[in-house]
């Protein structure tokens, strides 16, 4: 029974079928025991709260192309999936739910709150991973990890305790970025600097001795309540005589000193700056240098505390207005200026952060960053693609400050520190002694040894920054700190694929942690991709509401179509891509084009299989012997004959025996594209590889080769020629499916199974990626076919210009002074006759040698023929007896008359000022487009009329 494909390709049914098949059969399960060369990628773990967006679809598709390719090249491949617990995001969701119930997390208590969090994770936390499945990602689902699963939690404990024991984690009072919305510290890298239109308030601080005043300016006037000094530059002659004196702080009536510090820019404002050490990072450093008091005026919810006096309890922005009013009333407000400046916002809470003195846990960055810098400078490890990101990564490693790793949340890895609260009246204070341990039992043993049997312990309520656990991801997911087989074989991982905006958050964290704990960089290469921009070239964001739902496009066009579009749009590693999208119809022309490509491939495969007479590629065999014994002199360059090369170009029985001209051409093109695809994928040219395959499959294979061999597949065709066509057909189609598989895994898997009639247990995903047979690549032959195809296209265009019916065969005269061109045309004459519907073909060096045309040829093709040119070949088609020239001319004149009337009408509308003023811009533009199109049509018709 002949195996064949259904008439129509159904992407939804096909894709779901193979996604289930791969997972049920654990097709992508990795096995370190098999040995070989490892290729390992860990997924950049999406937040457990997330749902699939276009950035996910882009990134995971890029990774999957690389992973599938390297798996097919024979490497022992592991792509390890998983999700991040997303402390702040999950807690925000849960607290919103509780608020709707009229409760807070404190009403539940920590234990009940965490029970609820785990329940939420079980019910809703798999949304993103299930959506990832719809992309057809070839991950090993049996190794799926979660940053709070048992194994990773053990790794986090191990890392924390080791770093603490080595003196690299400490607890200290420090100025942190505080997010009042989430009421938690956030790292420098979780702060988004936003430019805002604000104000600069100027006011006077009177000198305590009554001799005058100093004028200062600030963008945050409420913080003046916490000022403990005024600073000037020591080299500023205007103020040198005042250094050491004091001013009286307005409202608070507190005496504060005038200090000299090099940090002050004498050219900014008046050259005097207020110093608020507890609420500004620069002032914090100045305060430490000059031993100034640190006065905190802010509660953790963003309201002012008891140190703010009459403004206590007011929200910080309400207090700002009221402080300004009071300064104005007291007569010390000088002026208010409009002022554009940057304000740090919490990426999580979406509110301005507040620099706040807080007792937090920190990691000493310098020893960790130095090790990562050594690896980069001495070994160029890891390698960044594109290379320009190396400098960005290095600069960030140099600039990093100590990392605040504690967060005032309940969902996350609770800090493994226990306080001896019996030493501080039952409360955790800044001075309460503590012990660090992996378990409470171990902590009690340590604390008892220090404080006696009656010690009372309380665990630190804070959790660790999620980037702490994510920083361990490349090796903790493989079993670290245990010496597992996975860790031994797959680590360091091979490639990290991620966006440039995550270098500072994640890439640097991983290299620092890995360098310290494993003494190796966690990956060989970091492939930095760009962003998916919307249809207007804008970055997609929730605030702009300009996202494009990949699931919607998958439902409309299929997963493979979306995947192929995303990859094909990439021009050069690291470049942004723009997604075509119509928001009115939820349609995308670019994804539709890729869907059309899947249909083209499907229909071509159907045609091939219908003509294989039930035979598989394996049964048919390859269309040439595997080892070509070439003659000493090599191949002939110029002469081509139907059915093979000249006899002396290959030794008897050579590998091209029996191959016809077009077979050798398609095999050359095929091997060229194999070589190109491998080179591109090895060097991260994914977009270039996708485009090359598109051009080969659609153009060379479907549009040309299928047409070239159709006549050889007829029932009455010469048997040997037919078999060779079938062999070549089957061989190239199977190769195409393998080449395209990493990009379009579902449709290629479906076609391959039907083509090869392979049973269960085997799949295309595990087949070998094609290797180029260089001996079959013939650039000269390919160039010759370009001339043949150009000739065919020219004849087809001339037929269209002359309105010759498709069923009518014509006479064609091809003239060239080049002997080589004449030989090429003669050798390929059967293809010209077949594809261009030519009955009589004449190839000549000179038109003068040909019999006179009847009627005679006129200038520019007038008279009895229509003429065209391809390269240096002139193409002539006599029209006598083929078309009625008078009727054709009348038809063209009638068309031209109609188009000219349309031009006149459109031009009149556009010169009517009332129409232009009253019509909508879309209507006016439509009229302009119609005029331009009509003018173009008129020009074509006039050119055609010149021929007759």
pLDDT tens per residue, range 373-406: 999 999 999 999 999 999 999 999 998 889 989 9
Q: Which residues pair with 83 in a beta bridge?
A: 146
Give φ, ψ of 35 to 5 degrees: 70, -155
The model's pTM is 0.83
Angstrom CA distances, 503 to 48, 189, 352, 764, stand at: 21, 10, 23, 35
Dmax (CA) for the chain in angstroms is: 121
CA angle 661–628–701, rounded 5-degree value:
35
CA–CA distance, 812 with 792 (Å, rounded to integer): 11
Q: How far is CA 599 from CA 7, 9, 354, 594, 697, in A?
A: 10, 7, 56, 9, 12
Tokens of 358: 């807080």
- Cis status of the peptide bond prior to 382, with omega within 30 of 0: yes
Residues 690, 464: Cα–Cα separation, whole Å: 42
DSSP annotation of 856 reads P
Residue segments in the chain with a per-residue pLDDT below the cut of 70: 1-2, 188-189, 348, 543, 626-657, 848-863, 947-948
Virtual CA dihedral for 787, 791, 794, 798, nearest 10 degrees? 170
Residue 594: predicted pLDDT: 97
CB 573 within 8 A of CB 525: no
Burial of 895 (0-12, 13-18, 19+ CB in 10 A): middle
Tokens 């400490």: give the residue. 170
Q: What is the pLDDT of residue 919?
A: 85
C-alpha 332/C-alpha 274 separation (Å) is 14
Sign of CA dihedral 128, 72, 559, 18: negative
Q: Do residues 311 and 165 touch, judged by C-beta distance below 8 A?
A: no
Rg (CA), the chain: 38
> Residues near 602 by Cβ (< 8 Å), separated by ≥ 6?
5, 9, 747, 751
Phi–psi pair at 419, nearest 5 degrees: -95, 140
Q: How far apart are CA 32 and CA 71, in angstroms?
A: 14
DSSP-assigned states of every residue in 313-346? T-BHHHHHHHHHHHHHHTT-EEEEEEEEEEEEEE
Among 440, 448, 451, smallest CA distance to 418 is for 440
Scanning 757-858, the segments in alpha helix (DSSP H) are: 779-801, 819-827, 829-836
> Quick one: which of 97, 100, 98, 135 has its CA closest to 19?
135
What does the block give as tokens for 196?
């805002």
CA distance 865 to 869: 13
| SS3 of 20-88 | HHHHHCCCCCCCHHHCCCEEEEECCCCECCCCCCHHHHHHHHHHHHHHHHHHHCCCEEEEECEEECCHH
Tokens representing residue 748 in the block:
């290629």
H or E stretch at 755: helix 745-756
345/932 Cα distance (integer angstroms): 50
What confidence score (pLDDT) does residue 302 get? 93
Supply the DSSP string of 928-944, one letter for each residue. HHHHHHHHHHHHHHHHH
Tokens for 825?
Answer: 């045309």
**Does the bond joining 492 to the residue before it have cis omega, within 30 degrees of 0?**
yes
- Rounded Cα–Cα distance for residues 687 and 569 (Å): 6
Given strand 333-346, what is the order of strands in its sheet?
A: 213-218, 191-206, 333-346
Which single residue is written with the structure tokens 């404190």?
106
């Amino acid at each position: 029974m002949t195996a064949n494909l259904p008439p129509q390709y159904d992407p939804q049914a096909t894709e779901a079928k193979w996604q289930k098949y791969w997972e049920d059969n654990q097709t992508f399960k990795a096995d370190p025991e098999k040995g070989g060369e490892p290729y390992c990628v860990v997924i950049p773990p999406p937040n457990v709260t997330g749902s699939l967006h276009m950035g996910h679809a882009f990134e995971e598709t890029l990774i999957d192309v690389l992973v599938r390719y390297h798996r097919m090249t024979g490497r022992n491949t592991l792509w390890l999936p998983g999700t991040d617990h997303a402390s702040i995001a999950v807690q925000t969701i849960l607290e919103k739910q509780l608020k709707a119930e009229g409760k807070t997390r404190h009403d539940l208590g920590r234990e009940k709150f965490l029970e609820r969090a785990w329940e939420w994770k079980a019910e809703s936390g798999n949304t993103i991973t299930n959506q990832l499945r719809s992309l057809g990602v070839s991950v090993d689902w049996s190794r799926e990890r979660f940053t709070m699963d048992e194994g990773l939690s053990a790794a986090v404990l191990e890392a924390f305790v080791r770093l603490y024991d080595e003196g690299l984690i400490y607890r200290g009072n420090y100025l942190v970025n505080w997010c009042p919305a989430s009421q938690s510290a956030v790292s420098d890298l979780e702060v988004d600097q936003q430019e805002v239109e604000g104000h600069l308030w100027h006011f006077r601080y009177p000198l305590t001795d009554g001799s005058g005043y100093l004028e200062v300016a600030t963008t945050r006037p409420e913080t003046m309540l916490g000022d403990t000094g005024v600073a000037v530059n020591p080299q500023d002659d205007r103020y040198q005589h005042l250094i050491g004196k004091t001013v009286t702080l307005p409202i608070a009536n507190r005496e504060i000193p005038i200090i000299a510090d090099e940090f002050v820019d004498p050219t900014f404002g008046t050259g005097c700056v207020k110093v608020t050490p507890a609420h500004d990072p620069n002032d914090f450093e100045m305060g430490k240098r000059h031993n100034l008091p640190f006065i905190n005026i802010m509660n953790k919810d963003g309201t002012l505390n008891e140190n703010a006096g009459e403004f206590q309890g007011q929200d910080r922005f309400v207090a700002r207005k009221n402080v300004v009013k009071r300064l104005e009333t007291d007569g010390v407000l000088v002026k208010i200026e409009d002022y554009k400046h940057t304000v740090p916002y919490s990426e999580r809470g979406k509110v301005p952060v507040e620099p706040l003195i807080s007792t937090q846990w920190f990691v000493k960055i310098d020893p960790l960053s130095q090790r990562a810098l050594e690896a980069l400078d001495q070994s160029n490890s890891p390698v960044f693609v594109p290379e320009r990101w190396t400098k960005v990564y290095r600069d960030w490693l140099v600039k990093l400050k100590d990392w605040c790793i504690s967060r005032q949340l309940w969902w996350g890895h609770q800090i493994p520190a226990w306080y001896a609260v019996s030493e501080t009246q039952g409360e955790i204070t800044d001075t309460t002694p503590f012990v660090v341990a992996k378990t409470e039992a171990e902590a009690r043993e340590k604390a008892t040894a220090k404080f006696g049997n009656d010690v009372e312990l309380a665990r630190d309520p804070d959790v660790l920054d999620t980037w702490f656990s994510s920083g361990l991801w490349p090796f903790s997911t493989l079993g670290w700190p245990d010496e597992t087989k996975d860790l031994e074989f797959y680590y360091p991982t091979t490639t990290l694929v991620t966006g440039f905006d995550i270098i500072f958050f994640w890439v640097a964290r991983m290299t620092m942690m890995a360098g310290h704990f494993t003494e190796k960089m966690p990956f060989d290469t970091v492939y930095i991709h760009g962003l998916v921009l919307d249809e207007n070239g804008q970055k997609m964001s929730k605030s702009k509401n300009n996202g494009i739902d990949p699931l919607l496009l998958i439902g409309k066009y299929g997963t493979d179509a979306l995947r192929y579009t995303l990859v094909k749009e990439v021009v050069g590693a690291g470049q942004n891509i723009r997604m075509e999208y119509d928001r009115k119809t939820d349609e995308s022309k670019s994804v539709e084009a890729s869907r059309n490509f899947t249909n083209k491939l499907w229909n071509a495969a159907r045609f091939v299989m219908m003509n294989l007479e039930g035979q598989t590629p394996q049964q048919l065999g390859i269309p040439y012997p595997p080892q070509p014994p070439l003659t000493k002199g090599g191949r002939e360059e110029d002469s081509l004959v139907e059915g093979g090369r000249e006899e002396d170009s290959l030794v008897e029985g050579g590998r091209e025996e029996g191959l016809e001209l077009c077979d050798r051409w398609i095999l050359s093109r095929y091997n060229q594209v194999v070589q190109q695809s491998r080179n591109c994928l090895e060097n991260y040219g994914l977009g270039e590889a996708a485009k090359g395959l598109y051009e080969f499959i659609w153009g060379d294979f479907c549009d040309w080769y299928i047409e070239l061999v159709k006549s050889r597949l007829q029932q009455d065709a010469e048997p040997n020629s037919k078999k060779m066509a079938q062999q070549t057909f089957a061989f190239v189609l199977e190769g195409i499916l393998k080449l395209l598989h990493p990009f379009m895994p579902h449709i290629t898997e479906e076609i391959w199974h039907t083509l090869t009639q392979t049973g269960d247990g085997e799949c295309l995903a595990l087949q070998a990626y094609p290797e180029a047979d260089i001996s079959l690549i013939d650039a000269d032959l390919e160039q010759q076919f370009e001339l043949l195809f150009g000739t065919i296209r020219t004849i087809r265009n001339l037929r269209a210009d002359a309105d010759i019916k498709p069923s009518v065969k014509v006479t064609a005269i091809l003239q060239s002074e080049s002997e080589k061109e004449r030989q090429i045309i003669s050798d390929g004459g059967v293809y010209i006759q077949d594809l261009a519907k030519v009955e009589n073909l004449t190839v000549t060096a000179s038109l003068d040698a040909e019999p006179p045309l009847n009627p005679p040829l006129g200038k520019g093709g007038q008279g009895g023929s229509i003429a065209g040119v391809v390269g240096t070949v002139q193409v002539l088609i006599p029209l006598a007896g083929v078309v009625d020239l008078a009727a054709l001319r009348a038809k063209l004149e009638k068309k031209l008359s109609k188009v000219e009337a349309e031009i006149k009408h459109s031009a009149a509308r556009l010169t009517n000022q009332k129409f232009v003023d009253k019509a909508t811009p879309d209507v006016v533009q439509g009229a302009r487009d119609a005029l331009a199109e009509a003018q173009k049509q008129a020009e074509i018709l006039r050119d055609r009329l010149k021929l007759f």
